[in-house]
A and B are shown apart, each in its own frame.
Chain A
C-alpha cells in the first residue's frame, strides 16, 4: 500500500495529493493492538511501582479531596474532547461511506479546537505550573529503573509520580505535536475551502507544498484515531478511573493520591473549603 496518493499537476509534475486513506485502518489496528498489549501487560505483570512509604505526618497534611484540575482546565479538556470527536467523525465517516456535508462541520470544529488550544497554551503558560506536564530527570531515572526491574535486573524501586505520570507526559507530548500539526495545516487549508472567515486563495503555495500540507494534515489526523482510542481506553481502565473522575470533578481522593503520587514532587496545599480554583498551579 502506498502511504501517499500522488497526482499529476497541470504542469506535469508529480505532486502529493493526500495520504492513502487505508492508513485510517492502520491507525485503528495500531490503537487496538496497543490496548490489547497493555491489558495483557497489566494483567500479567502487575508492576509494583512505589518505593518508600509516606510518613504519617505527610499523609495527615493531605486533604480528603486533593485538588487536581481547575474548572478552566477541565472546561478546556472537555471542549477540546468535543471538538476532537467532531473532527474525527467529520473527517473519517465520509471515508467509510457515510455521506454528509462534512467540510462545514469539520472546519467549525477545527476552529473550536484552535481557539481552545490557544487558550490552553496561554492558561498553562501563565496560570498553571507549565513544567508539570514535561518529563523531568526523576521521570527518566524512574523509567530506566522500571525497565531494568521488568527484565529482572537489580535497580532501586521507582518513586511515586509527580502530578502526572511519565506516560501521561509522553502522551501529552505526542498529542501536542499531532495537534499543532493538524491546527497549523488546517488553518492553511482554510484558504482552500469556502468559508466566511477568509477569501479563498488556492495559489498561496505551490502544488507540491499544498500537497505536503494535506499529507501532514492527514497523517496527524489518522494518528489521532489511535491516540484517542488509547486515551479513552486509559480513561476507562479501573485503576485509572480516579484520574478520569478528577477531570470531571476537579479532585481525587487522598488514598489514591497517597498511593500514586509523591507529595515531595507534587505538593498539595491544605484544603480550602470554597473552591479548587488554581489547583493546577500546585
Chain B
C-alpha cells in the first residue's frame, strides 16, 4: 500500500552526461531501470514506495536533450526542455501557440520550472487506486477498483476503458497531437520517429504500459512540423481548481481555414480515455465545412458518440461535447449546453 516514507527505497543512481550514455545505461539495465526527467512524477512513485527500481537513470545532466531548435521544417524540442522554457519560447508562442498555452496551464509555476516536456508526455495515468498502490490490473493484479459499483471514478474514462479506466492526464499531449508532432525514440537499434498519437497504448493492448517505450528506449526529442505553423489554435483545460491541478478534461485543435471553411484540422482531447484521443472522425466530418456554431454543434455531438459513463463521471459527456464545440468555433461563438 502507498505510504509516504521519510526516505525513498534504495536504488543505484546513474547520471549519464550524454544521450548515448543514457541510452546505453538503459539498455544495460533493462527492466530494472527507471528513467527520471524532471522527477515530478517519478518522486511520487518512489516516495510512495510503489515503484522500487533497482537503477535510476537521471537525465538531468544530459544537456543535449535540452532546448528548442528551429529547423527547416518546424521545431525540435529536446525531451529535457522545461515546460516554462517552452511556454516562453518566442518561436513556439508565435507559431505553435497551442503548445505554449497548453504547457503554461500545467500544474504550478514551480512544477513547470522543473518539469520537462519528455516527462510530461511520459507520465503515468491518474487513478486513485493505481497510484495508491492497490493491486489493480494496471499494477499487475486482477481487478479494477475504480470500475465497481462503489468505485470513485469521477475523474475516470468515458472512452477506451478495457479493465483499466484510468485516464491519461497530460496537458501537452493534445496540443502535440493537434500539431501533428513526432516523438523521437533512441534505442540500441537506432532512431524511431513515431506520430504523437501512436506513442500511446490502450489497456486493451497492454494494460501495464502506457506508451510504446520498451526497456532500453529513450525519448530524446519531439519534432513539430511546420504544417500548422501560425494556424488557428484552440486549447482549453477544465479542472477543479485553477492552479496545480490535473485536467478533468482538455481539448486542443489546430485549424487551417480557406475563407471561413475548414481546410485542415486536427483535434485531440485528453483525460477522457486511458490514452490521449485524436478525434479523427470529427476531423473528417468538419473538414470542408464552415467554422460556425452549427459545425461546432455537429462536431461536439459526433465526438461523444460511443461514450460510456461510469457511476460518477457522466458530466464528462456534456463537458466533452462543449469543449469540442468550442475547439471549432472558439468560446464566444459556442454556447455552452448541458
Please tell me which one of the listed residues A17, A100, A200 contacts residue B141 in the complex, with CB atoms under 8 A apart: A17
Q: What's the dominant secondary structure at chain B's contact region? A: loop
Q: How far is the CA of A103 from the CA of B205 in the complex (A)?
A: 9
Contact check, B204 vs A214: say whether CB atoms are below 8 A apart. no
Kindly list chain A residues whose C-beta atoms are within 8 Å of the C-beta of B147: 200, 202
Contact check, B142 vs A99: say whether CB atoms are below 8 A apart. no
Q: How far is the CA of A121 from the CA of B177 in the complex (A)?
A: 54
Kindly list chain A residues whose C-beta atoms are within 8 Å of the C-beta of B140: 5, 7, 17
Any B CB within 8 A of the CB of A110? no
CB under 8 Å from chain A, chain B span 159-216: 161-163, 201, 204-206
Closest to B206 in A: A99
Q: Total A-B residue pairs with C-beta atoms closer than 8 Å?
A: 53
Contact check, B1 vs A103: say whether CB atoms are below 8 A apart. no
B313 CB, nearest partner CB in chain A, Å: 16
Any A CB within 8 A of the CB of B235? no
Any A CB within 8 A of the CB of B45? no
Kindly list chain B residues whose C-beta atoms are within 8 Å of the C-beta of A100: 205
Any A CB within 8 A of the CB of B40? no
Contact check, B148 vs A18: say whether CB atoms are below 8 A apart. no
Any A CB within 8 A of the CB of B145? yes
Kindly list chain A residues whose C-beta atoms are within 8 Å of the C-beta of B162: 101, 103, 194
Kindly list chain A residues whose C-beta atoms are within 8 Å of the C-beta of B14: none
Q: How far is the CA of A33 from the CA of B298 in the complex (A)?
A: 63
Q: How far is the CA of A204 from the CA of B149 in the complex (A)?
A: 12
A276 CB, nearest partner CB in chain B, Å: 45
Q: How far is the CA of A37 from the CA of B134 in the complex (A)?
A: 45
Contact check, A210 vs B143: say whether CB atoms are below 8 A apart. yes
Contact check, B142 vs A10: say whether CB atoms are below 8 A apart. no
Q: How far is the CA of A8 from the CA of B139 in the complex (A)?
A: 11
CB under 8 Å from chain A, chain B span 105-155: 133-135, 139-145, 147-149
What are the interface flags for A152-182 relative to B under an 8 Å C-beta threshold, 1 for contact and 0 otherwise?
A: 0000000000000000000000000000000
B152 CB, nearest partner CB in chain A, Å: 13
Q: How far is the CA of A203 from the CA of B147 in the complex (A)?
A: 11
What are the interface flags for A188-201 relative to B under an 8 Å C-beta threshold, 1 for contact and 0 otherwise?
A: 00001110000011
Please tell me which one of the listed residues A10, A194, A201, A211 contacts residue B161 in the complex, with CB atoms under 8 A apart: A194
Please tell me which one of the listed residues A194, A203, A210 contacts residue B142 in the complex, with CB atoms under 8 A apart: A210
A9-B135, A193-B163, A194-B163 given as contacts; is B204 within 8 A of A104 (CB)? Answer: yes
Q: B143, B144, B148, B149: which has the most chain A beta carbons within 10 Å?
A: B143
A8 CB, nearest partner CB in chain B, Å: 6
Q: How far is the CA of A113 from the CA of B143 in the complex (A)?
A: 24
A101-B162, A193-B163 given as contacts; is B145 within 8 A of A10 (CB)? Answer: yes
Please tell me which one of the listed residues B133, B145, B149, B205 contacts residue A101 in the complex, with CB atoms under 8 A apart: B205
Any B CB within 8 A of the CB of A12? yes
A212 CB, nearest partner CB in chain B, Å: 11
Closest to A7 in B: B135
Closest to A215 in B: B142
Contact check, B142 vs A211: say whether CB atoms are below 8 A apart. yes
Q: How far is the CA of A146 from the CA of B145 in the complex (A)?
A: 56
Kindly list chain B residues whose C-beta atoms are within 8 Å of the C-beta of A94: 206
Kindly list chain B residues whose C-beta atoms are within 8 Å of the C-beta of A7: 135, 139-141
Kindly list chain A residues whose C-beta atoms are within 8 Å of the C-beta of B135: 7-9, 15, 17
CB under 8 Å from chain A, chain B span 1-50: 1
Kindly list chain B residues whose C-beta atoms are within 8 Å of the C-beta of A201: 149
Kindly list chain A residues whose C-beta atoms are within 8 Å of the C-beta of B206: 94, 99
Q: Which residues of A contact B (CB under 8 A)?
A: 5, 7-10, 12, 15, 17-18, 94, 99-104, 192-194, 200-203, 207, 210-211, 214
Please name 17 further chain A to chain B contacts, defined as beta carbons within 8 Å, in addition to the given A17-B142, A193-B163, sorted by A numbering.
A8-B135, A10-B134, A12-B1, A15-B135, A17-B135, A17-B140, A94-B206, A99-B206, A101-B162, A192-B142, A194-B162, A194-B163, A200-B147, A200-B148, A202-B144, A211-B142, A214-B142
Q: Which residues of B contact A (CB under 8 A)?
A: 1, 133-135, 139-145, 147-149, 161-163, 201, 204-206
